[in-house]
């Protein structure tokens, strides 16, 4: 089956913008790399440089949704082009030391993930080596929207080279074709790696052993929906190149020997892979013969065969082999025929498939599968116009269908919409959304069978727009969903409400927060971003909090805190969750925000946090409680008194003096008696806080303190003054008992002198 490569531009100068911007990115990346290695990614100087490179990356991502940068033997890799540029030799050397070939970014990559990738890239080569090399090192450090690709070598061939394949396949092929990679050990390692299997014990590399290993590797790879058969084919070809032809052929049946004799290793590898794929497919079909159509195992087998076709590119030969295996397994002929029809269709020229799809006025499940595969193939090959035309035709047909049929068609539409995601199809998303929104807001169709499916489609359209950072459009769709929800909130939580939570993927939410931070001086944009995050709900608040959790600069933390405050009650749950975080500054921020949001359960939420060992957290918790009018905050404050640091303790005592909460009496008294080693000034404040509580229990506590000769005299004085001025009925009776203090008690003499000096 011939592929449909993207048509190259007729004018080479059309590549210049990517080359100019890409090399500018590379220069800034090299500077950033040097600074980050010298200091660390958390150093302010590195932080500024990382932000600059991140900003340069954004326009490159907007051009095609992905940008790959790296080196292939003294050439700079920019997406699918290799460019001669000597000024980046230092960076190439640093990449080479770490066995890094390239780094690929996807649209929507968040700054925190970009920064984390730089931290991995700048890890010392010795550390990477200790972790088992770059592949093992990266396996333990997964990244979001970023892929670091191990290095390969390539002979220099001019100023600019068009590779004509994806970067991973290219680097793999170059590693295989490099002269120093032609050893059997290297080829075996590549084969095992491609198949994801372990080396057989006592493997000697004989013909039969290689055939058995090739069969097992192919079966494992084809059974894995994510398995890369193209990479496996390259690895197997190199493995066969290291064998003598007679050694391999002698291990085959006479018929196979005649078929494969004289073939080069690549062609022979394709034949062996096809045999293994066809055998696996027949076994799967025999284990559970599919029903009419292509469901269950039949669909699984079809998808596996299509992946095999992409690798070997020969449809008829693979089908012939499958037919032989199906016949041997005594499967009904119609099983093979259904598979054959689909494979032949998928192997047809793109123009034929395009015309057939446009001619359909109704899509059965089988025809929809064809349409979906065609769109995915067109998007992959860069044929965006064709993909757009087919998608528009599908939705046009869908609009003409009866209501019940249309609901089923709409149920499949999100899968198609996901396949259309990309900057190039953003205009299509706007076009498709318009009729969906009209239906969403049509009062006569609120209870129709299509309503739920319309909301699901709009959620995917919004996600696609979010991947391209068209947040204004996402905001409009979210507003429409919110409008629909508010008409009948209880009835539309599972449709409009659920769709609202899905209008942005997690990575795009983080990008939205980052955009708000970067453009916060634009008041209109700040309102739009805040509104969108608020409509998304707790997930939006979670994204803002994650950004705040990782921000070291106070100048950026404050705007982030203001943003979260503006999200209102939707941020409360995310803040509560962070009260148990292991990082004290995260807990501090959560306390501040919960206080600003007037969490109705604030005292209960902060009961344990206020005892945090970090003074800054204690201060933030008390400050939050001071802002709150929630009942019970006085008791929470009083219970925490023995655990508070000195400065924070006085702050809490001042607040308790104002609150005059009877629930604090026992805890204030306990502080005075149990913490005699505290400064007298602190315990005096505790006595004054007791005196402010207008209860008999407070008066009795004051009496016990002043009657305790073991207390510091200033503390007893504060207690006696409080008791004399207390307004409870018990205070008068207790003051009279002061006359019975022992004569030698210093406080007794002071009280007598005070009585004598007082006027009648």
What would the pLDDT profile of 94-116 be if each residue is shown by its tens digit?
Answer: 898 888 988 989 887 888 888 88
Same domain (yes/no): 157, 226: no
- Pick the last residue of a domain from 315, 347, 379: 347
**Is residue 258 a part of any domain in this protein?**
yes
**Is residue 427 a part of any domain in this protein?**
no
Same domain (yes/no): 207, 330: yes
Q: Cα–Cα distances in Å, from 231 out to 118, 217, 238, 614?
A: 28, 11, 11, 53
**Is residue 79 a part of any domain in this protein?**
yes
Same domain (yes/no): 716, 750: yes
Closest to 499 (Cα-Cα) out of 540, 463, 541: 463
pLDDT, one tens digit per residue, over 299-324 is 777 777 777 777 776 667 777 777 77
The domain tally of the chain equals: 3
Residue span of the structural domain in which 101 resides: 12-161
**pLDDT bracket for residue 164 (50, 70, 90):** very low
Same domain (yes/no): 123, 211: no
Do the beta carbons of residue 30 and residue 90 sit within 8 Å?
Answer: yes
Same domain (yes/no): 269, 226: yes
Closest to 730 (Cα-Cα) out of 755, 710, 702: 702
Q: Which of 52-66, 181-195, 232-246, 284-298 has the highest mean pLDDT?
A: 52-66
- Pick the last residue of a domain from 291, 323, 347: 347
Average pLDDT, the chain: 82
Q: What angle do CA 184, 189, 191 make, to 5 degrees?
A: 95
Q: Is the pTM of this model over 0.75?
A: no
Same domain (yes/no): 263, 339: yes
Residue 154 has a pLDDT of 41
CA distance 208 to 494: 58
Residue with the bigger pLDDT between 749 and 412: it is: 412
**Is residue 472 a part of any domain in this protein?**
no
pLDDT, one tens digit per residue, over 8-47 is 344 444 446 788 888 989 989 998 998 888 877 877 778 8
CA distance 55 to 422: 20
Q: Which of 83-87, 157-161, 419-423 has the lowest mean pLDDT?
A: 157-161
Residue 329 has a pLDDT of 67
pLDDT, one tens digit per residue, over 457-499 is 999 999 999 988 899 999 999 999 999 999 888 888 999 999 9
CA distance 173 to 177: 6
Is the pLDDT at 1 greater than 90, yes or no?
A: no
Non-local CB neighbours of 470 within 8 Å, separated by 6+ positions: 426, 429
Same domain (yes/no): 135, 246: no
**Is residue 501 a part of any domain in this protein?**
no
Same domain (yes/no): 316, 216: yes
**Is residue 748 a part of any domain in this protein?**
yes
Residues 162-167: contacts with CB within 8 Å, 24+ apart? 162/8, 162/80, 162/81, 163/80, 163/81, 163/82, 164/5, 164/80, 165/80, 166/80, 167/68, 167/70, 167/77, 167/79, 167/80, 167/102, 167/104
Same domain (yes/no): 26, 97: yes
Same domain (yes/no): 34, 156: yes
- Pick the last residue of a domain from 161, 196, 231: 161
Q: Cα–Cα distances in Å, from 223 out to 229, 301, 370?
A: 10, 9, 21
Percent of the chain with pLDDT over 90: 33
CA distance 739 to 755: 11
Is the pLDDT at 89 greater than 80, yes or no?
A: yes
Give the count of beta carbons closer than 10 Å to the beta carbon of residue 253: 8
Residue 2 has a pLDDT of 37
Helix (H, G, I), strand (E, B) or coil at 102: strand
**pLDDT bracket for residue 63 (50, 70, 90):** confident
Q: Which of 250-259, 543-552, 589-598, 730-739 has the lowest mean pLDDT?
A: 250-259
Is the pLDDT at 185 greater than 90, yes or no?
A: no
Same domain (yes/no): 305, 199: yes
Residue 75 main-chain phi, psi, to 5 deg? -115, 140
Residue 752 has a pLDDT of 66
pLDDT, one tens digit per residue, over 347-356 is 788 899 899 9
CA distance 311 to 172: 14
**Is residue 701 a part of any domain in this protein?**
yes
Same domain (yes/no): 252, 331: yes
CA distance 21 to 257: 54
**Is residue 115 a part of any domain in this protein?**
yes
Is the pLDDT at 75 greater than 50, yes or no?
A: yes
- List the beta bridge partners of residue 720: none
């Amino acid at each position: 089956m011939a592929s449909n490569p993207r048509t190259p531009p007729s004018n080479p100068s059309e590549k210049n913008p990517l080359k100019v911007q890409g090399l500018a990115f590379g220069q800034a990346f090299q500077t950033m790399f040097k600074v980050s290695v010298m200091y660390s990614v958390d150093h302010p100087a590195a932080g500024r440089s990382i932000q600059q490179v991140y900003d340069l990356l954004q326009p490159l991502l907007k051009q095609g949704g992905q940008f790959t940068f790296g080196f292939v033997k003294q050439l700079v890799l920019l997406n699918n082009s290799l460019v001669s540029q000597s000024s980046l030799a230092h960076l190439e050397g640093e990449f080479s030391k770490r066995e890094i070939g390239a780094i690929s970014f996807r649209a929507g990559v968040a700054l925190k993930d970009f920064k984390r990738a730089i931290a991995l890239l700048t890890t010392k080569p010795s550390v990477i080596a200790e972790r088992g090399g770059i592949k093992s090192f990266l396996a333990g450090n997964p990244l979001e929207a970023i892929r670091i690709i191990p290095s390969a070598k390539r002979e220099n061939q001019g100023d600019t080279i068009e590779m004509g394949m994806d970067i991973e396949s290219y680097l793999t092929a170059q590693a295989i074709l490099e002269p120093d990679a032609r050893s059997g050990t290297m080829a075996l390692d590549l084969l095992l790696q491609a198949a994801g299997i372990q080396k057989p014990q006592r493997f000697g590399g004989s013909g039969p052993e290689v055939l058995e290993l090739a069969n097992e590797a192919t079966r494992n790879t084809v059974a894995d929906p994510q398995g890369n058969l193209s990479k496996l084919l390259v690895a197997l070809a190199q493995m066969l190149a290291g064998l003598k032809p007679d050694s391999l052929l002698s291990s085959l049946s006479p018929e196979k020997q005649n078929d494969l004799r004289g073939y080069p290793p690549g062609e022979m590898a394709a034949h062996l892979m096809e045999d293994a794929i066809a055998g696996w497919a027949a076994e799967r079909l025999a284990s559970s013969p599919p029903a009419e159509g292509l469901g269950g195992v039949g669909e699984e087998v079809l998808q596996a065969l299509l992946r095999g076709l992409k690798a070997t590119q020969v449809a008829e030969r693979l089908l012939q082999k499958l037919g032989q295996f199906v016949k041997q397994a005594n499967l009904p002929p119609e099983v093979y025929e259904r598979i054959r029809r689909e494979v032949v269709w998928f192997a047809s020229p793109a123009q034929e498939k395009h015309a057939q799809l446009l001619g359909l006025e109704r899509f059965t499940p089988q025809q929809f599968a064809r349409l979906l595969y065609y769109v995915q193939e067109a998007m992959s090959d860069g044929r965006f116009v064709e993909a757009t035309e087919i998608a528009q035709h599908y939705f046009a047909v869908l609009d003409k269908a009866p209501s019940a049929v249309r609901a089923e068609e709409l149920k499949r539409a999100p899968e198609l919409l996901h396949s259309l995601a990309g900057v190039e199809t953003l205009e299509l998303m706007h076009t498709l959304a318009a009729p969906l929104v009209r239906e969403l807001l049509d009062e006569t169709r609120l209870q129709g069978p299509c309503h739920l499916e319309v909301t699901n489609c709009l959620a995917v359209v919004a996600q696609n727009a979010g991947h391209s950072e068209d947040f204004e459009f996402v905001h409009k769709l979210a507003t429409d969903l919110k409008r629909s929800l508010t008409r009948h909130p209880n009835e539309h939580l599972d449709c409009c409400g659920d769709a609202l939570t899905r209008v942005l993927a997690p990575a795009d939410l983080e990008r939205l927060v980052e955009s708000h931070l970067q453009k916060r001086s634009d008041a209109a944009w700040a309102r739009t971003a805040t509104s969108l995050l608020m409509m998304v709900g707790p997930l939006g608040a979670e994204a803002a909090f994650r950004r705040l959790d990782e921000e070291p600069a106070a100048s950026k933390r404050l705007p982030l805190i203001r943003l979260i405050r503006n999200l209102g009650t939707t941020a409360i749950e995310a803040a509560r969750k962070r009260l148990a975080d292991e990082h004290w500054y995260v807990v501090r921020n959560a306390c501040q925000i919960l206080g600003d949001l007037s969490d109705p359960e604030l005292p209960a939420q902060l009961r344990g946090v206020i005892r945090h060992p970090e003074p800054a957290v204690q201060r933030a918790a008390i400050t939050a409680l001071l802002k709150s009018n929630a009942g019970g905050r006085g008791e929470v404050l009083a219970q925490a008194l023995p655990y508070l640091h000195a400065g924070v303790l006085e702050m809490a005592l001042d607040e308790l003096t104002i609150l005059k909460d009877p629930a604090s009496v026992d805890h204030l008294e306990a502080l005075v008696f149990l913490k005699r080693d505290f400064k007298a000034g602190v315990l005096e404040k505790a006595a004054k806080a007791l005196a402010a509580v207008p209860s008999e229990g407070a008066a009795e506590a004051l009496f016990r303190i002043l009657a305790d000769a073991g207390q510091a005299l200033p503390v007893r004085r504060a207690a006696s003054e409080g008791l004399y001025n207390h307004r409870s009925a018990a205070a008068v009776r207790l003051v009279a008992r002061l006359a019975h203090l022992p004569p030698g008690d210093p406080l007794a003499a002071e009280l007598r002198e005070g009585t004598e000096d007082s006027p009648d």
